[in-house]
Amino acid sequence: MRQSRLFLTTLREVPADAEVISHQLMLRAGLMRQLTSGVYELLPLGWRVLYKIEQIVREEMDRAGAQEVLLPTIQPLELWERSGRSEDYGPLMFRLTDRHERAMVLGPTHEEVITSLVQQEIHSYRQLPVILYQIQTKFRDEPRPRAGLLRGREFRMKDAYSFDLDEAGLDRSYRAMFEAYCRIFDRIGVRYRAVDADPGAIGGEGGTHEFMVLSDAGEDTIAGCTSCDYAANIEKAAGQALPRADATATPAPQTVPTPGTRTIEDLVRVLNVDAGQIIKVVVYVADGQPVAACLRGDHEVNEVKLKNHLGVRTLELATPEQVLQWTGKPVGFVGPQCGLRVVFDRDIWSVTDGVVASDTPDAHDIHVVPGRDFPVGETADIRNVREGDACPKCGGSLRFYRGIEVGHVFKLGTKYSKVFGAVYQDENGQERTIIMGCYGLGTTRVIQAVIEQCHDADGIIWPMAIAPYHVHIVPVNTADPAQQQTAEALYEQLRSRGVEVLLDDRDERPGVKFKDADLIGLPLRITVGRKAGDGVVELKERATGQVSELTLEQAVAQIVERVNPSR
RNA sequence: CGGAAUGUAGCUCAGGUUGGUAGAGCGCACGGUUCGGGACCGUGAGGUCGCAGGUUCGAGUCCUGUCAUUCCGACCA
């Protein structure tokens, strides 16, 4: 491609609306432009990158035995009412009405559609297993779009769905997809980590892993072990239970006045105790019913864990009014003996000399011991791990990282197939429910995740596999016939060898061209300069800055080798 | 949903407190000099000052409303 003809404008200055570096570079390097909040246009360079990513995804999906389909964007709301997820997704769905006043939605995902399709088409065990996938635009009216493609309202995603006879089949499909994902991210050239995760809104039964690109721009917190390979999303991460401490020396409880202490911090200050000694009670509404969580003051409730433990659909914090109504106490003065169903965090046992809200108004009891001074009933791990907690696998120390979720694989089980009646007859004529898995991969998000990881002060540094072009040819002075001819000759030779070349044939000053080349970040650059007349050019590697002077033949040979080492 | 900031030329921003007919740098067009890391000189094009209403002789500037964009937060008792 001749750059003089390319639909590309780079930006010298950082766009005011972009905060995150990868977002800035997407705009500055002319990969995309914003249309409206969370919605972007991909320009030729950006589209080429996305295309390559999706091509790699296709190849690996096909290799793993999955078959590509294309499913509708527009879906009847009724489908979502059947699965019950109309409510779960709620305002996250873009809704529209057709001319017959029928309620429709723009698909935020496709479990409903694919399951109803499979329900119609699959009836016999002979037709299973099957894995279907598609690459499609998805729509989610996010409460807060952010950071360009990292969280958009319209974005591209590959989603695959597996349909199996039984659990063993699901395990095979899951493993095949997991391995395909590893190959995909390896081929793309991004550093990633597969972490244990919670199934979240999509729901389901059984294992699930998220593929995370480690980056401070990420929205997820990952707890990783510093001595083994354990890694999990904070929503899922479980540490080892803290040791149950010896409290035999703790004196008898004593009530002290603590008016106006609404928070743990207040108590720490007023009573001069550690936050870890305080035993707090947090009141929730779980499917409409009050439930209290009781844990140490320095621990945080993990709402995902609590929700899973309770087996409820919705879980939200109670309002102060609800707390008062149900417990007769204001927020901050509710103790474990509040009369509500209380779930204790298992690490409550690590408290030896605790503080709890007293029965006396505006007071707390000190020198309290769990089990001795109040009964500890229903107990579970319902808190977030903290840095330094013991790794569940090896006992090592957990550390936190930020990550961008680029892929998610999970075992759905029969959640959707049951609702949609996706069943088959086995060899005995018995009707059985199909077992499903689902496997998402955010292709547009990957573009930015890669940039987040692959850039320097001058611009993007594309991995070869997804670079918009392989090589950037920069003639320093287009007015010099020798340089001009050399650049053209290289351009033709490389293209005839299957190399994707961007030729900067613009009549610009060298500085401008070099700056643009660094910003755009093609992996290799050929500078055609003064020595062109002697048949010598420079080959520069974007990632390392390494420069070598080569003859044209050497340059072509090296580039062909670098672009496609296997050839 | 709550909080904050911002909306003036293609981009980055001044101007606003003190109301008086619109600015800079970069980019763009043309001419010239330059040509290995975002050149220089000259000329020029380009703006319903987000939108609506109000105050005023007069509003980019003051008031009210509204829309948009970005950031932070979304409740830990």
Measured CA to C1', the nucleotide nearest A320 is B77
- Spanning CA of A12 to C1' of B14, the rounded length in angstroms is 19
Per-residue pLDDT tens for A507-541?
A: 999 999 999 999 999 999 999 999 999 999 999 99
Per-residue pLDDT band for A205 (boundaries 50, 70, 90) equals low
Where is A325: in which H helix or E strand?
Answer: helix A320-327
Quick check: A282 CB within 7 A of strand B? yes
Q: What is the pLDDT of residue A566?
A: 61
Per-residue pLDDT band for A173 (boundaries 50, 70, 90) equals very high
Q: Which residue is nearest to nucleotide B39 (CA to C1')?
A: A509
Topology classification of domain A469-563? Rossmann fold (3.40.50)
Q: What is the pLDDT of residue A117?
A: 96
- Spanning CA of A24 to C1' of B18, the rounded length in angstroms is 39
Average pLDDT over residues A388-414: 89
Quick check: A46 CB within 7 A of strand B? no
Per-residue pLDDT band for A355 (boundaries 50, 70, 90) equals confident
CB A559 within 8 A of CB A539: yes
More confidently predicted of A268 and A168: A168
Residue A418 has pLDDT above 90, yes or no: yes
What is d(CA A34, CA A127) in angstroms, rounded to the nearest whole number? Answer: 45
Q: What is the pLDDT of residue A29?
A: 96
Q: What is the pLDDT of residue A424?
A: 96
Please tell me the pTM assigned to this model: 0.89
- Spanning CA of A556 to C1' of B42, the rounded length in angstroms is 45
Measured CA to C1', the nucleotide nearest A476 is B36
The top-level CATH class assigned to A254-380 is alpha beta
Residues 317-336 of A with CB under 7 A from strand B: 317-318, 320, 323, 331-334
More confidently predicted of A239 and A454: A454
Domain layout of chain A by residue ranges:
21-192+412-451, 254-380, 469-563
Q: If we measure between CA atoms, which residue out of A184, A410, A197, A461 comes closest to residue A308?
A: A197
Quick check: A40 CB within 7 A of strand B? no
Residues 388-427 of A with CB under 7 A from strand B: none
Measured CA to C1', the nucleotide nearest A333 is B77
Residues 131-190 of A with CB under 7 A from strand B: 143-147
Where is A423: in which H helix or E strand?
Answer: strand A423-425
Q: What is the pLDDT of residue A361?
A: 78
Average pLDDT over residues A462-477: 96
Q: Which residue is nearest to nucleotide B38 (CA to C1')?
A: A512
- Report, at the CATH architecture level, how domain A21-192+412-451 is classified: 2-Layer Sandwich (3.30)
Quick check: A522 CB within 7 A of strand B? no
Q: Which residue is nearest to nucleotide B76 (CA to C1')?
A: A300
Q: Beta strands A67-68 and A130-139: pairing type?
A: parallel
- Spanning CA of A497 to C1' of B67, the rounded length in angstroms is 54
Q: What is the pLDDT of residue A199?
A: 62
Quick check: A540 CB within 7 A of strand B? yes
Residue A57 has pLDDT above 60, yes or no: yes
- What is the average pLDDT value for chain A, to the nearest integer? 90
CB A336 within 8 A of CB A281: yes
Angle at A196 between CA A423 and CA A342, to 5 degrees: 90
Q: What is the pLDDT of residue A206?
A: 58
Q: What is the pLDDT of residue A340?
A: 80
Q: Could you give the percent of chain A with pLDDT greater than 70?
A: 98
Q: What is the pLDDT of residue A429?
A: 93
Per-residue pLDDT tens for A130-170?
A: 999 999 999 999 988 999 999 999 999 999 999 999 999 99
Q: What is the pLDDT of residue A362?
A: 82
Per-residue pLDDT band for A219 (boundaries 50, 70, 90) equals confident
Q: What is the pLDDT of residue A275?
A: 82
Residues 472-491 of A with CB under 7 A from strand B: 476-477, 479
Q: Which residue is nearest to nucleotide B12 (CA to C1')?
A: A13
Alpha carbons within 13 angstroms on the beta-carbon side of residue A77 total: 17
More confidently predicted of A511 and A380: A511
Q: What is the pLDDT of residue A555?
A: 96
Q: What is the pLDDT of residue A333?
A: 81
- Spanning CA of A516 to C1' of B39, the rounded length in angstroms is 16
Per-residue pLDDT tens for A14-54?
A: 998 899 999 999 999 999 999 999 999 999 999 999 999 99
